[in-house]
Amino acid sequence: MMGNQFFCLKLLLAFYLSSCHYVSVAHTENSFLPLKAVNLGNWLVTEGWMKPSLFDGITNKDLLDGTQVQFMSTKLQKYLCAENGGGDVVVANRTKPYGWETFRLWRVNESTFNFRVSHKQFVGLEDENGGSKLVATSDIPTNMETFQIVRNDGDPSRIRIRAPNGLFLQATGETLMTADYEVSTWEDSWEDSDPSVFKMTVLTNTVLKGEYQLTNGYGPDKASKIMRDHWNKYITEDDFKFMSENGLNAVRIPVGWWIAKDPTPPKPFVGGSLAVLDNAFTWAQKHGMKVIVDLHAVQGSQNGQPHSASRDGYREWGESYIPDTVATIDFLAERYANSESLIAIELMNEPQGVNLQSLKSYYQAGYDAVRKHTSSAYVIMSSPLDRDPKVLLPFARGFSGVVMDVHYYNLFSNQFSNMNVQQNIDYIKNHRASELASLTTSNGPLTFVGEWSGDWKVRGASKKDFQKFTQAQVKVYSRATFGWAYWAYKGDSNYWNLKWMIENNYFKF
Ligand SMILES: *[C@@H]1O[C@H](CO)[C@@H](O)[C@H](O)[C@H]1NC(C)=O
Ligand SMILES: *[C@@H]1O[C@H](CO)[C@@H](O)[C@H](O)[C@H]1NC(C)=O
């Protein structure tokens, strides 16, 4: 009896192993799965909220790319408005500021800017032949759309705007803004009655602080040193040693599209990050860890977020960007295909508001680009933030060696505002667990909780509360077949800093 049972078991096991081997011939890395990983966030793609001091040395650091501003004529006590949101004149007849009265900055240098209106045109002078009327009709910023903001020394919110013809803007009347006001150097009147004086409101809650703002804020002379210092100090080989000694077996490394153009990426991005990524692979290998290369910032921006390196918060990635984005993936796959540490390439982080058909075309082409160079690396597809996470499941079933990435934060939505400790934990145990289970299907892609954190909206929580919350998450997310990755390894805020959490005994797994 016993012998017979044993034999059956052996047969079954042999059959199981050989069939596994057959279907997943390309994927011999499975002993690392499910991954226990951490995101090296704010390293090769910077995010100001994780380390605000990076921005400290920028002149006029409240006026970064994408910052939204409003201008009120002190004489008329009315706001500047791009009539119809753009494609029309600029007037000064609005008593309250809304979207049409709000302008997004494109920074040329510390005092010179383009103003982008809500329908995406730029404010400029009507024509080059002496016309001084202000309009918002150009789709690209040329010299005629470039203005200098001159701030009052005593009150930096009182400004004048110098137009490209060298003269200042004035509210000639409520329905006419012209660039024909001369301010003599000896006259420094900032009276309310002066038609060239405006009160500038910076919408501080709109300020973007990403890699674009950082590098363009410092400008070409300073950005290179700032970035190199940051790359060299933020993550070092010691960190890989620490991660590996503490039981983590992989890192997810966000990268930006410009890394493929190294060493001379388009401005304002700074060259040199590719060598840093090379180092990460070397260190990972030395300390027995795997690397996920995550294309986090995609040309054109796939979500308008600062972490996509968006210039001004508009999402512009779409069909026309597919070839360039595939080329970036092709470059990364070719470079790291033969590294023992490469476990996966993620095609695009957190698409939001992109056309689903374009996303699928891109995922198909990106998958093919990876497979050109490696049959063993997994290909990760991030599920679009603005859709049901199951939307790509049928599509993803058509590939082998594919992973679906979902991000789970008990934040960024009002539903978490009033949840207490237990309700947060229950949400993980119930809602997250069942969603993850529904995504994890036997003939479908592997599943990955590629971002999550121990932070939440509960205020005044105790250490024990945090421990319970992170442990509940680890327990559920460990059921993801590809594993999980904490956001992030390092950051000024403790609960976004896995190193701190581990050192202070907030985190066990
Ligand atoms: C900023 O750019 C403008 C336009 O190119 C130029 O005239 C000005 O000198 C620059 N200012 C600084 C501080 O670099
Ligand atoms: C502002 O001026 C424009 C241009 O003359 C006009 O079409 C619009 O109706 C005015 N709006 C208000 C609120 O006065």
What percentage of the chain's residues is helix, strand, coil (to nearest 5)?
35, 25, 40
How far, CA to CA in Å, does 34 sit from each of 19, 170, 448, 481, 484?
20, 63, 9, 5, 7
Nearest CA to ligand 1 atom 7: 112
Most informative mutation of 114, 148, 161 for ligand 1 (most atoms within 8 A of CB)? 148
Domain boundaries, the chain: 32-53+209-503, 67-206
- Per the listing, tokens 């949840």 go with 419
Rounded distance from Cα 93 to ligand 2 centre (Å):
6
Superfamily the domain 32-53+209-503 falls into: Glycosidases (3.20.20.80)
Rounded distance from Cα 79 to ligand 1 centre (Å):
27
Which architecture characterizes domain 67-206 according to CATH?
Trefoil (2.80)
Long-range contacts of 460-468 (CB under 8 A, 24+ apart): 461/421, 463/506, 465/421, 466/495, 466/506, 467/505, 467/506, 467/507, 467/508, 468/421, 468/425
Interatomic CA distance for residues 199 and 344, integer angstroms: 51
Rounded distance from Cα 227 to ligand 1 centre (Å):
23
Q: pLDDT tens, position by position, for the chain (509 residues)?
A: 334 444 444 444 444 443 433 334 345 447 899 999 999 999 999 999 999 999 999 999 999 999 999 999 999 999 999 999 999 999 999 999 999 999 999 999 999 999 999 999 999 998 756 668 999 999 999 999 999 999 999 999 999 999 999 999 999 899 999 999 998 766 678 999 999 999 999 999 889 999 999 999 999 999 999 999 999 999 999 999 999 999 999 999 999 999 999 999 999 999 999 999 999 999 999 999 999 999 999 999 999 999 999 999 999 999 999 999 999 999 999 999 999 999 999 999 999 999 999 999 999 999 999 999 999 999 999 999 999 999 999 999 999 999 999 999 999 999 999 999 999 999 999 999 999 999 999 889 999 999 999 999 999 999 999 999 999 999 999 999 999 999 999 999 999 999 999 999 998 88
How far, CA to CA in Å, does 207 sit from each of 44, 305, 310, 351?
21, 11, 12, 21
Nearest CA to ligand 2 atom 1: 93
Interatomic CA distance for residues 44 and 317, integer angstroms: 20
67-206 shares the fold of 32-53+209-503: no
Task: Find residue 161's DSSP bridge partners.
Answer: 149
Closest CA to 297 of 305, 286, 288, 289: 305
Interatomic CA distance for residues 280 and 141, integer angstroms: 39
CB of 83 closer than 6 A to ligand 2?
yes
b/e map of 114-148 (b: 16 or more CB within 10 Å)? bbbbbeebbbbbbeeeeebebbbbbeebeebbbbb
Interatomic CA distance for residues 484 and 34, integer angstroms: 7
Most informative mutation of 77, 80, 93 for ligand 2 (most atoms within 8 A of CB)? 93
Most informative mutation of 58, 63, 109 for ligand 1 (most atoms within 8 A of CB)? 109
pLDDT given for residue 132 in this prediction: 87
Nearest CA to ligand 2 atom 6: 175
pLDDT given for residue 212 in this prediction: 98
CB of 30 closer than 6 A to ligand 2?
no
Rounded distance from Cα 83 to ligand 2 centre (Å):
8
Most informative mutation of 77, 79, 80, 83 for ligand 2 (most atoms within 8 A of CB)? 83
pLDDT given for residue 23 in this prediction: 36
- Closest-lying ligand 1 atom to the alpha carbon of residue 110: 13
Residues with CB under 6 A from ligand 1: 108-112
Q: Where are the beta strands (DSSP E) in 239-396?
A: 250-256, 290-297, 342-346, 378-382
Task: Find residue 91's DSSP bridge partners.
Answer: 81
